[in-house]
Structure 1
């Protein structure tokens, strides 16, 4: 009888320990937005090593263990969201023209990789030749729920319904809703109006207000209080940051993810200031710097 009770106790203890272990594993994912977690955001992918916003760049960022893939959105003439920083295709493809004036079929004919080899003779890779412009749908379908996404609505005033199309894509790929992991998708924008619109449409989706250098250097407590009503953080130009304004932002309970930081010296300095992550073209370098401190 005593042996049976002892066996029952051991089995119960093991079950409780096993149950306790599972939430600990889950919580590591759920705390992406913790102010104590320093995030590595791969700026346009690992764009220091591969052509920005291409599959090659995103796959390399994943290999380098970036916490987030950054996606900039533009919209084609026929209403498709594509992943591209500029409003024109001139800089990062062999084509010319405004994205809004080109159809997706026309953009899909363009080479989005050769330019990188020409601009970076020390980092040439034959695999980059012929890389294609990606749609938002293609990126989300390829990486799915295995990755985290930091998505920017670029120039939303040029693109009616951009926010609605973005949310529809997230829903399609099961990245929006009460059963999704908090912080798996973050939306950022320089457009306050775009973020406020998204706050109405998807209040549970974390948002970050981007700030240029002048906005950051002149930020007030009242402005930070207002930002906190619709956003979880700010993303300023890193050159505007000082120990004082970093602490000012942090004192309002906001995350702080500056852009775009590529030197080890700047990374170290900003970590010492107290930023909670940053955008970089070299996610492997920032991960190394984080590990060294």
Structure 2
């Protein structure tokens, strides 16, 4: 016996209208709720901000500091920034060198500001490293030259970021103007940060670019202390603070961060200090060994690695 097919179920039109009205009302209520709550949409999808690795004078634990070899290693080791100490020669050229004299890191002697670029370019800036660090010595480092800031920008372009430090700008009038002109010539505004012990130097650069990250460098001879007033003054023109790691502690880091400032301590080379800095909540670290610091971060993120 064949059963008679059932007639299709008929749903009244008013049911669809009511269902759609309820759905629209719910969406409207959700939209109103979200509009009342400030949301950081990028923050909903991105993981916690990474800790920044600054290759201090390049990967200077493995190669002659402030040379193209050192900077190449810093880039190869995936540092977020290569740090460049900017000084000006007697003939107005910008070079990468930390000390006021060429004595320690070349085979010459003399004050940078009293020497021409040609005189500095004639010096060997690499052999000293081979003698001091034979375990990392390389033939390529012999006769390494002191690079100009232009040569560094030409070598790496937009393949990295640059932490530029204006060294003793009060002794080198016009340094900031020349440096910033090069930044603009190579279209690197979004690839640089600037640090200095000179407040005036940083404020000058802030006038030219309201977005460039600026770091006020501080040096402490005893356990670091900083007042709320000092932090407020720094926050008025800078984004963060760089302080010598061995004089700060977790409380100092917390105070700086509570003021809305970043903190990048320098120079952190030993694993135990790297681990402490990360646990304290620093935003970045200057190190001669960027590969070691990245390994520490990875191990702390995943202890079983």
Task: Summarize the alignment of residues 228-267 of structure 1 with structure 2, pairs less than 5 Å apart.
Answer: 228-267=235-274
Residue 35 of structure 1 and its aligned partner are, at CA, apart by 8.1
- Change beyond 3 A, Cα 1:68–1:216: farther
Q: Which residue in 1 is equivalent to 2:22?
A: none
Deviations 1:74-122 (A, max 9, x none): 1000000000001111110111100111111111111110010111122
User: In structure 1, what is the Cα distance between the partners aligned to 2:188 and 2:69?
Assistant: 23
Deviations 1:14-45 (A, max 9, x none): xxxxxxxxxxxxx8xxx9xx982200100000
User: In structure 2, what is the Cα distance between the partners aligned to 1:35 and 1:76?
Assistant: 42
2:196 is the alignment partner of 1:189? yes
- Which has the higher relative contact order, 1 or 2, with Cα contacts under 8 A spaced 6 or more apart? 1
Deviations 1:227-268 (A, max 9, x none): 111111000010122111111111111111000000000000
Task: Summarize the alignment of residues 214-229 of structure 1 with structure 2, pairs less than 5 Å apart.
Answer: 214=221, 217-229=224-236
Q: Which residue in 2 is equivalent to 1:126?
A: 139
Q: Which residue in 1 is equivalent to 2:210?
A: 203
Matched residue of 2:215: which SS? strand
User: In structure 2, what is the Cα distance between the partners aligned to 1:215 and 1:229?
Assistant: 26
Residue 201 of structure 1 and its aligned partner are, at CA, apart by 2.7
The one of 93, 99, 111 equivalent to 1:86 is: 99
Whose Rg is larger? Answer: 2
Matched residue of 1:52: which SS? coil
Residue 60 of structure 1 and its aligned partner are, at CA, apart by 0.8
User: In structure 1, what is the Cα distance between the partners aligned to 2:90 and 2:177?
Assistant: 16
Residue 62 of structure 1 and its aligned partner are, at CA, apart by 1.0
2:225 touches 2:252 (CA, 8 Å); kept in 1?
no
User: In structure 1, what is the Cα distance between the partners aligned to 2:281 and 2:247?
Assistant: 14
1:39 touches 1:67 (CA, 8 Å); kept in 2?
yes
User: In structure 2, what is the Cα distance between the partners aligned to 1:210 and 1:100?
Assistant: 22
User: In structure 2, what is the Cα distance between the partners aligned to 1:277 and 1:50?
Assistant: 22
- Change beyond 3 A, Cα 1:205–1:35: farther
User: In structure 1, what is the Cα distance between the partners aligned to 2:222 and 2:195?
Assistant: 16
Q: Aligned pair count?
A: 257
Runs of 4+ with >4 A deviation = none
